Amino acid sequence: MTTAVTALVDPVTAIAHMLSHGFVDDALVAGTFVALACGLVGHFLVLRDQVFTGDALSHVAFTGALGALAIGVDLRLGLFVGCVAVALLMGLVGPLGRAGDVVIGNVFAWLLGLGVFFLTIYTTSRSAGNGGAGTTVLFGSIFGMTRSQAGAAAAVGAGVACAVVAIARPLTFASLDPVVAAVHRVPVRALGLGFLALVGVAAGEATQVVGALLLLGLLATPAGAARQLSASPWRAMWLSAGIAVSSLWAGVAISYAAPSMPPSFSILAVATTWYAAASARGAVHRRAGRGGAHLAPDVGARGQPSRASRIPKPSRTAPESPSILRRARRLVMSRVTRSEASTITAK
């Protein structure tokens, strides 16, 4: 509580004091690039209606990490191998490199049962040597990362972000209209499989930051907020990345100032606040759009109604005028061939 009060009174000193700790620096370095990757990947998950895939990969992360711990290897190996392998498997089974809901539902059931099996093996045979590993997998431990782990996480996150940006243009085309993209020789299926592999890598890294239980929040919440703020795919992509990174920075700072708040909760709380604010803004704009007909007319520079406001608006219930009908008839007749036009005229 004292740290929180100091941060409110003198934020510059509080930030300098926070950055003087090595574990905070490691958390920010690793978390920034992981959040950047999750924001970019999450944008395309939302654009392609594959958010359910991210939810499935959170269970894959849990099962893969427990499987690695059960056989006595590094849990990161289980995270990456499990997430990437299952993501590719779902893409191969689904159409055009996309995992369908039925496929994901079956994967859900199988992975949950497999996770329970690995959890039983781990808790009965190996948990004595690393009792907190299971909790770390579920809830993440961004403040517990070593310098080498932080560097590796930052490198992987930067690689995923660069790969997503490199394929962003064709992937956007394939996401919005896969049939037309295929006609234009865009490798739709290969792009879908490559994207799912990137999702798997991002999910494996994000599990170390926010945990398997909250993984979906870091993937989907910033992207959902960005879609509320902009209809442009490109602007929404970068907004999603910015919201994810800012949520991580703010969450780390909040957890440092209030140690009783877990970092995973703080990060997702900030991201959810972003989404709530974006949704409220969208609702206000939609309500203003519906009520636009009842607003006062636009006022020009001299206090008179503007020229645009003086133009009469067409009524939806009024019948079409004869001049409009004649113009429409001429337009239709101009598109008819000469022989057809003579036949119609004779009739």
Domain locations in the chain as residue ranges:
2-282, 318-346
The pTM is what?
Answer: 0.75
Surface-to-core class of residue 30, CB atoms within 10 Å of its CB (0-12 exposed, 13-18 middle, 19+ buried) = buried
Q: Is the pLDDT reported for residue 216 higher than 50?
A: yes
Phi and psi at residue 305, to the nearest 5°: -55, 135
β-partners of residue 299 are 305
Q: What is the mean pLDDT of residues 296-316?
A: 45
Distance of CA 137 to the CA centre of its chain: 21
Q: What is the mean pLDDT of residues 275-281?
A: 93
DSSP string spanning 147-191? Answer: HHHHHHHHHHHHHHHHHHHHTHHHHHHHHH-HHHHHHTT--HHHH
- Mean pLDDT score of the chain: 79
> What are the distances in angstroms from CA 266 to CA 40, 197, 201, 259?
21, 28, 23, 11
Pick the most confident of 29-38, 173-182, 251-260, 294-303. 29-38
In CATH, the architecture of 2-282 is Orthogonal Bundle (1.10)
pLDDT digits (tens, 9 = 90+) for 37-60: 999 999 999 999 888 888 888 888
Surface-to-core class of residue 248, CB atoms within 10 Å of its CB (0-12 exposed, 13-18 middle, 19+ buried) = buried
Q: What CA–CA distance (Å, rounded) separates 298 from 83?
A: 56
Q: Is the pLDDT reported for residue 143 higher than 70?
A: yes
The larger pLDDT score, comparing residue 108 to residue 322, is at: 108
> What are the distances in angstroms from CA 144 to CA 191, 208, 263, 301?
35, 9, 11, 61
Q: How many CB atoms lie within 10 A of CB 202?
A: 33
Task: Determine the residue type at 287.
Answer: R
pLDDT given for residue 342 in this prediction: 47
Print burial letters for 276-286: b (CB count within 10 Å at least 16), e (below 16).
Answer: eebeeeeeeee
Q: H or E element: which one contains 143?
A: none
